[in-house]
Each structure stands twice: as structure tokens, then as C-alpha cells.
């Protein structure tokens, strides 16, 4: 079983990944916040965009391949598809990643897309910018505190377009503006039921 949790920065992916993995007795595969380029990237996005994105992509490829090869369940915080279609695409459109670097990045993504199967279910955590900002501030990662709201809004637009028009796998959307899965256990029960339905197929 391969369950992926997708969503913008601050949407709650790590928390939901940990909760669901615990519910199903699996190991959560979280985003590597120790990316060695992360501080450099937030200081000078144009200089470090390619390095930053390739590091995240390589980590997620390794996570997925290791877990799926072992035959275990994979609960993954963010996917290679988001790396490519949301973050790298956004950096390219903002002029922060050169066309040459973007083409190289997408070639690496295309190869990994052939190696790693699509998630059985992608859970999309949709949240407005005010909610994202609130949750980013609450968790207090220093390098995130100055993220521009316009940047978050651009990412939201990319996510909504990707979910609505590009991604072809099965999706379950949680509206984080109106539901709090940390406080309402019924939400986790509903998500778990959906996962169990998929497992029976």
C-alpha cells in the first residue's frame, strides 16, 4: 500500500503522515528538513533552486524505492510529482530556475516516474494562505518565517491546477480551513476507512 500526503508548505502533511502511519502500524516517510541547501535557498532562491530541488527529489526517490522494494506500506509526506509539477515548475516560472536546469531536473523526474508507481491514494491537504501562514508561524521553523505570502499563493494555484487537471491517480481532499484532523478524530477515522477500502481492491 502506498499512501501519499500532498499539500502546500504548512498544510499539515507531516502530522497527518505520522498519524496515519501509526494507525496502520507503518513507518512514516517524512520530508527531509535537513536539506543542506535549505538556508541558502531561502537566502538566494535563484542561485540554489536547482540544488535544493534535486536534493528533495533524490530523497523521495530513495524513500519510495526502499519502501516499495521491501514490500512494506509507504506513507509518504509529499511526492516526486509535487516536486516536479509544483515546486520546480513554480521556480522556473518565477525565473528562479534556468530553462537548462529545469530541463535537466525534469529529465531526472521522468526517469524516477518510470521507476516508482503512483500512490494508491493521494490525500491532498488544501488550505488557504492565512491558514498556511498561521501554521507555519506556529511550528516555528526559522528558515520559513519570512516566506512571502504571494509565494504561498502561487504554490496553492499550482496545487489546485495539478490536482484538478494533471494528476490522474485517486485523490481524497481535506479542506484544512474547515476541518482540524488534530482535534477531530472522526476525520482520521474517515480517512482510514477510505484507505481500508482501497486495500480491499
CATH of the domain at 119: 3.40.50.300
pTM, two decimal places:
0.90
Q: How much is the pLDDT for 145?
A: 66
| Domain boundaries, position 112 | 2-199
- Is pLDDT above 90 for 84? yes
Higher pLDDT, 175 or 60: 175
Terminus-to-terminus CA distance in the chain, angstroms? 11
The tally of domains found in the chain comes to 1
C-alpha 173/C-alpha 176 separation (Å) is 9
Q: What pLDDT score was predicted for residue 157?
A: 96
- 134 pLDDT more than 80: yes
Q: What pLDDT sits at residue 195?
A: 95
Average pLDDT of the segment spanning 6-30: 94
Q: What pLDDT does 144 receive? A: 64
* pLDDT of the residue at 43: 86
Q: Hey, how many other C-beta atoms are within 10 angstroms of the C-beta on 41? A: 21
Mean pLDDT (whole number) for 24-28: 92
* pLDDT of amino acid 87: 93
Instruction: Report residue 64's pLDDT band, with 50, 70 and 90 as the boundaries.
Output: confident
Question: What per-residue confidence (pLDDT) applies to 121?
Answer: 96
The whole-number pLDDT of residue 200 equals 79
Q: What is the pLDDT of residue 92?
A: 96
The enclosing H or E element of 107 equals: helix 99-115
Lowest mean pLDDT among 3-7, 95-99, 136-140, 176-180: 136-140
pLDDT tens track for 135-175? 888 876 665 666 788 989 999 999 999 999 999 999 999 99
Average of per-residue pLDDT across 100-124: 94
User: In which residue are the cell numbers 488557504 written?
Assistant: 128
Which are the catalytic amino acids?
Answer: 77
Question: Hey, what long-range contacts does 42-46 have (CB within 8 A, 24 or more apart)?
Answer: 42/143, 42/144, 42/146, 42/147, 45/91, 45/94, 45/96, 46/95, 46/96, 46/97
Amino acid at each position: 500500500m502506498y499512501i501519499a500526503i500532498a499539500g502546500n508548505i504548512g498544510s499539515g502533511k507531516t502530522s497527518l503522515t505520522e498519524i496515519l502511519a501509526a494507525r496502520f502500524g507503518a513507518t512514516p516517510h517524512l520530508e527531509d528538513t535537513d536539506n543542506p541547501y535549505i538556508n541558502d535557498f531561502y537566502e538566494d532562491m535563484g542561485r540554489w533552486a536547482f540544488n535544493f530541488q534535486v536534493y528533495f527529489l533524490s530523497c523521495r526517490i530513495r524513500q519510495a524505492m526502499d519502501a516499495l522494494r521491501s514490500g512494506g506500506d509507504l506513507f509518504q509526506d509529499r511526492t516526486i510529482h509535487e516536486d516536479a509539477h509544483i515546486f520546480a515548475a513554480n521556480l522556473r516560472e518565477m525565473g528562479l530556475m534556468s530553462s537548462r536546469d529545469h530541463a535537466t531536473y525534469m529529465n531526472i523526474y521522468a526517469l524516477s516516474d518510470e521507476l516508482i508507481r503512483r500512490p494508491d491514494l493521494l490525500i491532498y491537504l488544501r488550505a488557504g494562505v492565512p491558514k498556511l501562514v498561521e501554521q507555519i508561524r506556529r511550528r516555528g521553523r526559522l528558515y520559513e518565517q519570512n516566506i512571502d505570502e504571494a509565494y504561498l499563493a502561487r504554490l496553492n494555484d499550482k496545487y489546485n491546477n495539478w490536482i484538478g487537471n494533471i494528476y490522474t491517480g485517486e485523490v481524497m481532499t481535506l479542506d484544512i480551513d474547515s476541518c482540524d484532523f488534530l482535534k477531530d478524530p472522526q476525520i482520521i477515522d474517515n480517512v482510514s476507512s477510505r484507505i481500508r477500502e482501497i486495500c480491499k481492491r
